[in-house]
Amino acid sequence: MAAVAVVEAPVLWRRLLAFLPRGRPALTALFGRLSDRLTRGRERRARRSSWLLLAPLLSPTVPHLTAPPCCLCPEGSHRFQWIRNLVPEFGIASSHVKVLSSPTEFYELMKGQIKAAKKRVVLASLYLGTGPLEQELVDCIETALERSLQACDPSSLSVSILLDFTRGSRGQKNSRTMLLPILRRFPEQVRVSLFHTPNLRGLLRLLIPERFNETIGLQHIKVYLFDDNVILSGANLSESYFTNRQDRYVFLQDSPEIADFFTELVDAVGDVSLQLQQDNSVKVVDGMVHPYQGDKVAYCEAANKRVMKVIDSARTRQEFLHSQNFHCSHAEAPLSKEPKAVGDGQPEPDTWIYPLIQMKPFGIHIDETVTETLLMEAEQGASVYLTTGYFNLTQAYMDLILGTRAKYQILLASPEVNGFFGAKGVAGAIPAAYVHIEQQFFSEVCFLGQQERIRLQEYSRSGWTFHAKGLWLHLAGSSLPCLTLIGSPNFGYRSVHRDLEAQVAIVTKNKSLQQQFHQEQEQLYLRSGTVSALTFEQPNRYVQLWVKMVTPLIKNFF
């Protein structure tokens, strides 16, 4: 029993609970209590290290296909088709995908897309900054709305903006005050939604001061949409993200189905958020439960239904379109060797987009399931490049990395490029807390003798900060990635359990697009240095004792 007690509880017990007979809540409760007890010993790495070899066996299994793959269908040509059992699958041509490389390119593209938009502008972000560059972005929106007033149908352009309530309300000049002028001038065309986590309520909401209340949970999705074009990123709408804060950005052009999906997703979250009014007050959508004053369970259930309706409806639509476009066309000419086309002369997809949603407060954990499965299924000889601006992986992710056989290169921020570096007060100690977490993980890698298989690298760039996150997967024997994850999650506790997150898995068999992703990954890693034991002997890696003591208590909040 002593040996069993050191196995990582969340991964092991989730596996065991699946085998319990239904209708036995007592057994489930018993295993839950045991899980809590075992979790307390998870840091004793010497006692549990050998069990990491069992990580793939103790993790969730790959979701079974709901239907056998069809040899006529393009999705049958890649090994990640199981993801379509959880979310809609969007097949597009690789020529519609462009990887951006710099904050300036991201900013200029957004301004141009807003000015050219005729139907819709949808912006989902943590917050909107208050500087001149952000004002210029708002001015672009106003110009586009003014142009729509001169059209025959003045309501032809709609603007929907989703931000976080706490982050967007910080200070006297904030995201809300930045957007009030266009909301007042175009009330029928502009909607500003402010998500308020249901977990910040009662005395907790009254006692936790501004800035610190953001640790309880946030709206963290970053999607920027203009008519049928979509930018997926981890970047927020703030000056540093437009100038010298490195992130990742993928531009999907002429992709109406994907644009419709994310429009509906933002609308669904907006419906369960507070609505900004012209007097700077907020109110709930008619008929909706209040996020922090009403019944929490009822609110979360209603939110779950709205979001899952978007996901399930899109899945149904995409399956129908797939059946219409591919099964029928291939049945008519099964032996044709000519270049294939889909629908209205569109080229056959060679790239597939899977939106991965994580909203644990609402009981939605699709991104977590897919990420764990990808880590578990990465076989010997495969290479995984994983990057995060805030290195604080969940225990399940760490165990899968330590216990599986693929090679890992993990890119994280050096203290100087951490977004909290130089911050005032307690926040100024956060980079040191990340150094402590990094050193603990590195020590475990060394203890297990995995230095050759798992390598940590720190991004460093003078005058810049680092916020890039995501994953690139190279199958065994391949020098190019066939899959990448890009979006808002940081792979940490907050991303999995507290915040609203969205990213996409992009799978492609097109060599040119694979090369784009490879170049993106290489450019990020070129500005990094490899972490060794000597790294933590440097003066700037010194971690004060109080930070070491406090980090285990607060690591789930940042």
- Other CB atoms within 10 A of residue 398 CB: 21
Q: How far apart are CA 287 and CA 198, in angstroms?
A: 17
Active-site residue, selected from the candidate residues 111, 139, 227, 509: 227
Taking phi over 0 as left and psi of -120 to 50 as alpha, with beta for the rest, 23 belongs to left
Active-site residue, selected from the candidate residues 78, 220, 360, 474: 220
Cβ neighbours of residue 497 under 8 Å, at least 6 residues apart? 360, 556
- Other CB atoms within 10 A of residue 525 CB: 15
Q: How far apart are CA 119 and CA 121, in angstroms?
A: 7
Note if 467 is an active site residue: no
Taking phi over 0 as left and psi of -120 to 50 as alpha, with beta for the rest, 238 belongs to beta
CA dihedral 534, 396, 352, 509 (to 10 degrees): 50
Note if 279 is an active site residue: no
Q: What angle do CA 55, 477, 67 make, to 5 degrees?
A: 65
**Contact in structure between 210 and 193 (CB atoms under 8 Å):** no
- Residue 411: what are its φ and ψ, rounded to 5°? -100, 130
Note if 424 is an active site residue: no
Write out the H or E segment, with its range, that includes residue 352: strand 351-359
Taking phi over 0 as left and psi of -120 to 50 as alpha, with beta for the rest, 440 belongs to alpha
Amino acid identity for residue 359 in this structure: M
The number of helix segments (H) and strand segments (E) in the chain equals 19, 23
Write out the H or E segment, with its range, that includes residue 329: helix 328-332
Residue entry with tokens 């997703």: 265
Active-site residue, selected from the candidate residues 78, 222, 407, 518: 222
The DSSP secondary structure of 246-309, one letter per residue, reads E--EEEE-S-HHHHHHHHHHHHHHHHTSEEE-TTS-EEEPTTPPPTTTS-HHHHHHHHHHHHHH
Q: How far apart are CA 258 and CA 242, in angstroms?
A: 25
Q: Which residues are catalytic?
A: 220, 222, 227
